[in-house]
Amino acid sequence: MAQEHVERLMEIKPNNSDAEVELFLNYSEKFSGDVPDPYYEEGFDGVYRMVEDGIEGLLDAVSNKKD
């Protein structure tokens, strides 16, 4: 997810929604910012590593929130 996606989602999010919208890599310990397009920037291996780390962080955050 890129910052422009966050901005667009915030524009269309209902006013009464308590949903959190943030960058995916906020959950990563190794990466920050936008997830780049693998065709043009980091390549598939680099993006895979970013997404893998972000998923681990997101799962940790969700499981800690349930406790």
CATH 3.40.50.2300, domain 3-66, yes or no: yes
Instruction: Return the domain boundaries, the chain.
Output: 3-66
Percent of the chain having pLDDT more than 90? 82
**At residue 25, what is the residue type?**
L
Burial class (CB in 10 A: 0-12, 13-18, 19+), 38: middle
Per residue in 49-61, pLDDT (tens digit) is: 999 999 999 999 9
Residue 40: the pLDDT is 83
Give this prediction's pTM.
0.81
Per residue in 6-21, pLDDT (tens digit) is: 999 999 999 999 999 9
Q: What is the mean pLDDT of the chain?
A: 93
Confidence class for position 1, pLDDT limits 50, 70, 90: confident
